Amino acid sequence: MFPHLSGLTLPCAPSRAGCTVRAFAWHPHTNKFAVALLDDSIRVYNSNSATVPSLKHRLQRNVAAMAWKPLCASILAVACQSCVLVWHLDPTSLSTRPSSGCAQVLSCPGHSPVTSLAWAPSGERLLSASPVDTAMLVWDVSTETCVQLQWFGGGGVTYLAWSPDGSKVLAATPSAVFRVWEAQMWTCERWPTIRGRCQTGCWSPDGSRLLFTVLGESVIYSLSFSEYRGEMQGQVGGSKTASIVADLSETTFETLYGEERIGGEVHSMVWDPTGERLAVIIRGHPESPNSQPAVAVFRTRNSPVFELLPCGFVRGERGARPQLISFHPCFPQGALLTVCWSSGKISHIPFFFVGALEPHASPRRSPVPVPAWHPRASPPSGAPHTCTGAGCAAPAPIKGGFSLPLLSSP
Amino acid sequence: MSMVIIIISIFNIEFYAVVPSIPCSRLALIGKIIHPQQVIHSFVHAIMGMLVTWCATVMTKGRFQFLAVSCTPSEGLEDAVPQMCLNEYHLFFLLSGAFLGYSYSLFYLINNMNYLPFPIIQQYKYLRFRRSLPLLIKHSCVESLHFVRNFCVTYYFFGYIPKVWICTTMDLHTDGKLHPLDTLSGLLDLSLFYHTWLSGVFLLMTWYIAWLLFKIYATESHHFPIQPTFAQETDQCLPKILNSNPPLLIKFLALQDLMLLSQYSPVRRQEVFSLSQPGGHPHNWTAISRECLSLLSDLTQRLIAQQEAAAAANGRAKPPVGELKVPPQTPGAAGIEDMSFQSQSSPALNYKMGVVDIKSPWHGPVQSPHVMRRGPKLWTSVSDQQMNGSHHESFPVLSAARTGTEAVQPRFIYTWLQNKQEQIKTFLSKRALIMYFFSKHPEASIQAVFSDAQMHIWALEGLSHLVAASFTEDQFGVVQTTLPAILNTLLTLQEVVDRHFKLPHVSSKPPRISGSLVDTSYKTLRFALRASLKTALYRITTVFGEHLNAVQVSTEHKKRLQQFLEYKE
């Protein structure tokens, strides 16, 4: 029925072997994260408390994405098969099974399955999108009203990303077109790619640069936007063309363990909130015996010129493939990368550095040590083990390197 | 046709309201319907409807065109003069137009279609119009079907009245050959039904489009300057408009503009934070913050009054028999009661003024009905003695007895009147019919309290965004001096709103009807207010962080701010 969706593989579809974690989301202000498991339950882990609330609801099926509401203690939006569930959790409660009455159901006819969610950074609006619906919904969660942003042609939305300054939204479609919306008057710019659809994208902290990758190509593109002054209503302000900033085609590395072939298409990409580190999951070549998916980390800088330098790789245990990556939104000593592996482990890798820019606001508490979760004694099947960062992977030294034309922004 | 549209638009403009009027009881609803303004509205709409269908019949031609047509000649009639007969189809059409107009007007009233909802996101007018068009067309078709069906039923029963009246006034004959329309066989004419339905769709669509365009244009965001560049613009600038008492729509637009500028416009924020020349006073910020804070404290007081009324009603819900049985006391005792009444009323008055004294007995949830009595007390209860124990010792009994004797007589008549009133009320409340009309619908009365909450939501968002932006953009520190007042107001309002949501029915959501043309967002405004209040507080605490500990607030509020800083609220 939808021929343009035939090549679409949703992340963590149950048919993919070895996928135990469906979705992962860090809370934007505290040391709390939510993990969606294969059995459609969601666990919330908090470093300050030992209770792990488990969220279950009869409408919570095929969870594809989760997002915590910014500027809030604990409201979690979950993208499910037929609706969007918004859980209102009590941050001080010790209950391990919050009742289904805490969940608000936001549904709209024709808008299912919901696969991407994005909260506005000011915390007021929630965007939800489905690859089947050619309309993106802007929800006002408290009054349960929604506005449909419709367009014609090109299919639904496969990936949503709201820029951290709240001015722009990236919406990738299953066809070879992606849209960038500006969030004041909700007009959009259409960007046709040369081949393939936009696989993933991420914004710089000030919303002036978008890095994205295209399915079938192993390069990272960069698109810059004029600075948002607030006076240009209704204009997205994107530059005319995107430029290539990194080429991630397959290269051979000599390591202590032998020859390693790393490189290929990009599966997902995240940029840390200080704009200093970029993490990329590189899918290896399925035919090549030695190539395995790896997480590559780059050092980046956005001002005065854009710079992207390779920093290292993160490799898990033997046979474990990285599936989801995410940066901690407010790690005071640098950046904290969380990787969810196919073996069910979740690892946190800290990067300690002093940022080039001063943090925007003073930290709310004294410096937090790297969170250490102890593996459970007898975990139920399917539950992920977590381990501290130090024990998981050491960044491999770089010999040779990627061919990286260092392009400065226009 | 164009005249019709113009008159409809005039009515839209006359009757619009940014704050919905919610009838709290069935009697109020009936009162709204028979209000003369509404009667004129319905009458004019009925006439408009008739005009539109007349135009439709002219356009259709065929058998609907004229009111009077020559009768079909009968077989055996020798009479050569053709008689004029009533064309019942035409009459049917005109009456259906009138009925449709009247139903539209009734629907307009009941669904509060004169309420102007402001959109949750800003969009260009053309896009908003295009987005609403498919729903509008579908709605017109379905509604026209319902109205025509209702009209057919009405015509079946009452159709003979206008027929007979027109025949006698215009000296027409009824055509014996054709079926009269007010019978079942006459009404089952599919072509007639289709034509009526189509003209109904046409009528409704034109009226709804006029209504939609009016809504879109009226709720468009308007740019108010902050600093007037020309002398004649001084009256139009934002701080002035907020502080004066403009018509409600202008105030709404000004607050919406404040909300937008605080989020999206660094240049205008600079103007808000600027100092006047040559005095160096932050007039703009003072005016804006004062207006927003007064709006919020006004809401706080309103909610407190509502909560007290609810608690008093709970108290009076206990069987009133107890009150009636208590006889008036002796003068001496009455005197002491007088004192206790006076000393009791002062904390209540204080509370009404908005000063929340933590030690006052009104601070926590008050359940005892005795404490709630406003009127003169006829007995002292244990709780009152505990409260007023300290006061009793200080008053000399002598002066109490003297004032007591003087105050006793008028109070006696007053209490007797009160008793009689209560007796009548109890008697009437046992009559189910009276209660049917007078009983207040709880959901409706809750919605009525929050009916203008949109103003407060925008004030909260605008204020919190400005305060958050001032952390980096305020060069002269104009916001810092008002921070204690802002935090106090926000935290007090949050406390009151949380307590309000513990009342019955307030936290239950009304059922959501999706896909309807009519906007019912005013029913859930209280949830939006609660959410934006929390977000506003978190916005300020997230940006300021630990620096908030240096702001002067009361200890109770300091504790709550700490909860916000730790994300435990």
Hey, which residues 163-202 in chain A have their CB within 8 Å of chain B? 166, 184-187
Q: Which chain B residues are Cβ-neighbours of A364 within 8 angstroms? A: 545-546, 565
Q: Are B461 and A124 in contact (CB < 8 Å)?
A: yes
Q: Is A139 helix (H, G, I), strand (E, B) or coil?
A: strand
Q: Does B257 touch chain A (CB under 8 A)?
A: no
**Mean pLDDT value across residues A215-226:** 89
Amino acid at A367: P
Q: Does B569 touch chain A (CB under 8 A)?
A: yes
Q: Does B531 touch chain A (CB under 8 A)?
A: yes
Which of A48, A125, A145 is best to mutate for the B interface (most B CBs within 10 A)? A145
More confident residue, B2 or A244: A244
Query: Quick count: other Cβ atoms within 10 Å of Cβ B386?
Result: 10
What order of strands is seen across the sheet that includes strand A243-247? A198-203, A209-214, A219-224, A243-247
Count Cβ–Cβ pairs < 8 Å, chain A vs chain B: 98
Q: Which of A72, A109, A125 sits opposite B538 (nearest CB)?
A: A72
Residue B173 is given by DSSP the state B
Q: Which chain B residues are Cβ-neighbours of A125 within 8 angstroms? A: 120-121
Cα separations in angstroms, B26 against B30, B39, B40, B342, B502: 6, 18, 21, 38, 26
What is the predicted pLDDT for the residue at A150? 87
Q: Does A256 touch chain B (CB under 8 A)?
A: no
Q: Which chain B residues are Cβ-neighbours of A231 within 8 angstroms? A: 265, 267
Q: Are B131 and A29 in contact (CB < 8 Å)?
A: no
What is the predicted pLDDT for the residue at A105? 93
Q: Does A361 touch chain B (CB under 8 A)?
A: yes
List all residues 6 or more positions away from A335 whose beta carbon is below 8 Å from its beta carbon.
A272, A274, A276, A277, A327, A328, A350, A351, A353
Which of B131, B264, B543 is best to mutate for the A interface (most A CBs within 10 A)? B264
- Residue keyed to tokens 């932006």: B469
Q: Are A361 and B545 in contact (CB < 8 Å)?
A: yes
Q: Does A147 touch chain B (CB under 8 A)?
A: yes
More confident residue, B445 or A115: A115
Is the bond preceding A304 in cis, omega lying within 30 degrees of 0? yes
**Mean pLDDT value across residues A111-131:** 92
**Three-state secondary structure readout of B245-312:** CCCHHHHHHHHHHHHHHHHHCHHHHHHHCCCCCCCCCCHHHHHHHHHHHHHHHHHHHHHHHHHHHHHH
**Mean pLDDT value across residues A193-218:** 90
More confident residue, A147 or A13: A147
Distance between CA atoms of A299 and B104, rounded to whole angstroms?
65
Q: Are B521 and A30 in contact (CB < 8 Å)?
A: no
Is the bond preceding B369 in cis, omega lying within 30 degrees of 0? no
**A365 CA: distance to closest CA in chain B (Å):** 8
Instruction: Give the dihedral of Cα atoms A351, A353, A355, A360; nearest 10 deg.
Output: 70
Q: Which of A125, A140, A362 sits opposite B545 (nearest CB)?
A: A362
Question: Which of A221-225, A359-363, B312-316, B348-352 has the highest mean predicted lDDT (pLDDT)?
Answer: A221-225
Amino acid at B259: M
Q: Are A92 and B568 in contact (CB < 8 Å)?
A: yes
Residue of chain B whose alpha carbon sits nearest to that of A127: B121
Distance between CA atoms of B181 and B183, rounded to whole angstroms?
5
**Mean pLDDT value across residues A338-348:** 90
Q: Is B318 helix (H, G, I), strand (E, B) or coil?
A: coil
Q: Are A123 and B512 in contact (CB < 8 Å)?
A: no
Distance between CA atoms of B137 and A197, rounded to whole angstroms?
36
Q: Does B511 touch chain A (CB under 8 A)?
A: no
CB A253 within 8 A of CB A262: yes
Q: Does A94 touch chain B (CB under 8 A)?
A: no
Q: Is B437 helix (H, G, I), strand (E, B) or coil?
A: helix
What is the predicted pLDDT for the residue at A229? 61
**Three-state secondary structure readout of A331-392:** CCCEEEEEEEECCCEEEEEEEECCCCCCCCCCCCCCCCCCCCCCCCCCCCCCCCEEECHHHC
Q: Are B545 and A186 in contact (CB < 8 Å)?
A: no
Residue of chain A whose alpha carbon sits nearest to that of B269: A230
Q: Which chain B residues are Cβ-neighbours of A362 within 8 angstroms? A: 545-547
Closest CA to A394 of A297, A310, A327: A297
Q: Are B524 and A185 in contact (CB < 8 Å)?
A: no
Instruction: Give the dihedral of Cα atoms B249, B250, B253, B255; nearest 10 deg.
Output: -110
- Residue keyed to tokens 């590189």: A282
Distance between CA atoms of B30 and B33, rounded to whole angstroms?
5
Query: What is the DSSP code string of B370-399?
Result: HHH--S--SS--HHHHHHHHHHHHHS-HHH
Helices B125-158, B190-218: inter-axial angle, 10-degree rounding = 140
What is the predicted pLDDT for the residue at B355? 41
Q: Are B542 and A71 in contact (CB < 8 Å)?
A: yes
Averaged pLDDT in 10-residue chunks for chain B of 569 residues:
71 64 65 76 81 75 61 47 67 84 85 80 88 89 89 82 77 62 68 84 87 86 84 80 86 91 90 87 91 94 90 64 40 40 40 40 41 42 42 43 56 86 79 71 80 91 94 91 94 94 84 73 88 95 92 92 90
Residue of chain A whose alpha carbon sits nearest to that of B528: A142
**Three-state secondary structure readout of B540-560:** HHHHHHHHHHHCCCCHHHHHH
The predicted-structure confidence for A312-324, as pLDDT tens digits, reads as follows 888 888 888 899 9
Is the bond preceding B20 in cis, omega lying within 30 degrees of 0? no
Hey, which residues 441-470 in chain B have their CB within 8 Å of chain A? 461, 465
Query: Quick count: other Cβ atoms within 10 Å of Cβ B501?
Result: 12
Q: Are B120 and A125 in contact (CB < 8 Å)?
A: yes
Burial of residue A10, with CB atoms counted within 10 A of its CB: 0-12 exposed, 13-18 middle, 19 or more buried: middle
Q: Are B122 and A148 in contact (CB < 8 Å)?
A: no
Token pair recorded at residue A371: 């969170």
Distance between CA atoms of A32 and A47, rounded to whole angstroms?
6
Q: What angle do CA A369, A331, A23 make, to 5 degrees?
A: 105
Q: Are B535 and A109 in contact (CB < 8 Å)?
A: no
Burial of residue A2, with CB atoms counted within 10 A of its CB: 0-12 exposed, 13-18 middle, 19 or more buried: exposed
List all residues 6 or more positions away from B217 whose beta carbon is below 8 Å from its beta carbon.
B125
**Mean pLDDT value across residues A58-63:** 92
Residue B317 is given by DSSP the state T
Residue A238 is given by DSSP the state B
Closest CA to A36 of A378, A347, A346, A336: A346
Q: Are A363 and B543 in contact (CB < 8 Å)?
A: no
Q: Which of A143, A185, A230 sits opposite B122 (nearest CB)?
A: A185
What is the predicted pLDDT for the residue at B408? 61
Q: Does B524 touch chain A (CB under 8 A)?
A: yes
Q: Which chain B residues are Cβ-neighbours of A363 within 8 angstroms? A: 545
**A32 CA: distance to closest CA in chain B (Å):** 11
CB A71 within 8 A of CB A84: no
Distance between CA atoms of A320 and A322, rounded to whole angstroms?
7
What share of chain A has pLDDT > 90, as a percent?
A: 41
Residue B500 is given by DSSP the state H
Distance between CA atoms of A251 and A326, rounded to whole angstroms?
25
CB B380 within 8 A of CB B344: no
Which of A71, A94, A136 is best to mutate for the B interface (most B CBs within 10 A)? A71
